[in-house]
Homo-oligomer: A and B are copies of this chain.
Amino acid sequence: MSSVALLGAGNVATHLGAALVANGHRVTGVYSRTAASADRLAGHLGCPGTDCLDRLTPGEWCIFAVKDDALPALAKRWTALHPDTFCLHTAGSVPMDVFAGHADRYGVLYPLQTFSKARAVDFRRVPCFVEANGAPQLETLTALARTLSDRVVALPSERRRYLHLAAVLACNFANHCYDLAARLLEREGLPFDLLLPLIDETAAKVHDLAPREAQTGPAVRYDREVINRQLDLLADRPELRQLYAAMSQSIHQYARQND
């Protein structure tokens, strides 16, 4: 099994760290900008936490699970200290080349999932996309990733960006639609859990049907009367009204392309 230094203590670091430890790997330490965050995660993983990069014990691997804009500078500082560790980052939209010229062996381990600290996730079911700066490195990285997940796919940075964009649409934007619905019901004093069977079925449907075939509702039928009535309900919330109109139009437009 491997030893891994973890940079970052956010949602991805938390779940990836837990998956590493659960599968017999050793996390040598956790670095975070804030000592409290580093200590919290380090406590869970049974290793030291620190807000000082110099004090982080290197492992065979170093995984950067930090905000995208913090990654280049942090990668530079870390590789100056430990040029021999195999460096990975976990970001969907950052090219692997962020490590080029700084480390000998480097790559990407991108877990395609939405992680919140408050919720356990079965990491074995999380598709992981890997990329490395050479065939032997990719082999080593794939072997590491396979100890964590049942679905490991090699994918270059160029294509990973589209996967990340698709994930933002299918997850963050879909969740925002739930949020808009939740806030609307809250205003009307109706409980959000009324929508849960609908939300579950909407997600379950696309296991069997392509989303374009699964679509229902006023926009795909182009039921103008309902659409206009719903726009009227949003008269006092111009931004939401505009979003509703844009989404309805987009649904209708794609539906016409299918005809």
Q: Give A200 Cβ to nearest chain B Cβ, in Å.
A: 6
* B-contacting 9-mer, from A42-50, A56-64, A211-219: A211-219
Contacts known (A116-B205, A205-B114); A210 close to B182, Cβ less than 8 A:
yes
Contacts known (A116-B213, A171-B217, A172-B217); A178 close to B206, Cβ less than 8 A:
yes
Query: Once the chains bind, are B246 and A250 in contact (CB under 8 Å)?
Result: no
CA of A219 to CA of B181, assembled, Å: 18
CA of A171 to CA of B218, assembled, Å: 11
Which residues of the other chain, B, contact A159 by a CB distance below 8 angstroms? Answer: 188, 190
Dominant SS at the A interface? helix
A176 within 8 A of B: yes
The chain B residue with its CB closest to the CB of A126 is: B197
Chain copies in complex: 2
A74 within 8 A of B: no
A235 within 8 A of B: no
Query: Once the chains bind, are A230 and B164 in contact (CB under 8 Å)?
Result: yes
Which residues of the other chain, B, contact A209 by a CB distance below 8 angstroms? Answer: 116, 118-119
Query: Once the chains bind, are B185 and A180 in contact (CB under 8 Å)?
Result: no
Q: Which 7 A-B pairs have the closest CB atoms?
A: A172-B217, A179-B211, A203-B203, A170-B181, A166-B181, A178-B211, A174-B174
Q: Can you add 18 more A-B contacts, CB < 8 Å, to A168-B219, A169-B180? A: A93-B218, A113-B197, A116-B205, A153-B194, A164-B230, A166-B184, A168-B218, A169-B244, A170-B199, A171-B198, A171-B201, A172-B219, A173-B251, A178-B211, A180-B250, A182-B211, A239-B253, A242-B246
